Amino acid sequence: MSNPQPRLAVTTGRVEREGQRALVEHLAAELGVPIVERRERSTLRIIEAEGLEALVVVNNERLHYIDSTGETFFWHPNMAVVRIGAVRVHGREDLLARACDLRPGDRVLDATLGLGADAIVASWHVGPSGAVVGLEASPVIACLVRHGLATYEHRLAPVLRNISVITGNHTGVWHDDAFFEPGFEVIYFDPMFEQPIGSSSGLAGLRPLACYDRPDADVLAAARARAKRRVVVKGRAFDPWLRALQPDHWVQGRHRRLAYAVFETDRGE
Ligand SMILES: C[S@@+](CC[C@H](N)C(=O)[O-])C[C@H]1O[C@@H](n2cnc3c(N)ncnc32)[C@H](O)[C@@H]1O
């Protein structure tokens, strides 16, 4: 189950710029939350005065998510940019690409999108003839990432724009034939760890919003029935729940803290 959405509202920057109102209205409708007028108040003042737990603030084209402690999040693709640079410039192999056996033209379902770093790396590998669809159970995370992928200005913009974000729990899709038309070569899961590994979690302030479900044997069987080539589940190496899924093989990095459990499908090429 997803964590419940916080008591949330959408507002503008201190100075409302032309064109911002339409985005504020769009986001409020998407999230099903009210709009509060800024009236030159600080964000923390609004949160307290309006009895909220968090605010989404439209600053220029960028969205900020601010909680009641003042922790602020805005979406950016940094880690994905570093990873793609390591492949492109230094010829390194990305572990996700190896585990998923990503090829140009592949369609990838990222069933646990999060901030989309893995989806961006996958999108770069599959190229413009492929596509990535990301499912995210948290409406707020999905909204921030969808907006970031659609608007972030960068030379990798075409890679970001080739990812479609769908808000919803992956448990709802396995019986939906239309969703799997034309299908996916690869289905990928990267469930939440209860404790983040080191500083690896860019989710930081968004962790309370995330869904902590793990794909169990039933989900895995459903994904295997749908994927054309592979299902991949990322987890901590030696985690008993991951081992219990009994993958066909493992892909691990040098440090061996993380492991990708790889499941071939019957239709594997
Ligand atoms: C560890 S993060 C994924 C990080 C992501 N791979 C990245 O590179 O940014 C896991 C994300 O999956 C989402 N999630 C967990 N279970 C889910 C489910 N059953 N359906 C959809 N999203 C889910 C969580 O809300 C969280 O945002």
For residue range 127-184, what is the model confidence (pLDDT) as tens digits? 999 999 999 999 999 999 999 999 999 999 999 999 999 999 999 999 999 999 999 9
CB of 170 sitting under 6 A from ligand 1: yes
Expressed in angstroms, the distance from the first to the final Cα of the chain is: 34
Q: Is 228 in the pocket of ligand 1 (CB under 6 A)?
A: no
CATH of the domain at 53: 3.40.50.10480
Q: Are both 16 and 97 inside the same structural domain?
A: no
pLDDT at 2: 60
Same domain, 27 and 96: no
Q: Which of 178, 193, 260 is nearest to 226 (CA)?
A: 178
Q: What is the pLDDT of residues 59-118, one digit of tens each?
A: 877 899 999 999 999 999 989 999 999 999 999 999 999 999 999 999 999 999 999 999
pLDDT band at 17 (very low <50, low <70, confident <90, very high): confident
**Is 85 in the same domain as 58?**
no
Supply the pLDDT for residue 126: 98
171-203 confidence digits (pLDDT tens): 999 999 999 999 999 999 999 987 665 545 567
On whether residue 3 sits in a domain, the answer given is: no
192 within some domain: yes
Helix (H) or strand (E) holding 11: strand 8-12
The pTM score is: 0.95
Distance 113 CA to ligand 1 centre (A): 5
The total number of structural domains in the chain stands at: 2
Residue 79 Cβ < 6 Å to ligand 1: no
Distance 203 CA to ligand 1 centre (A): 10
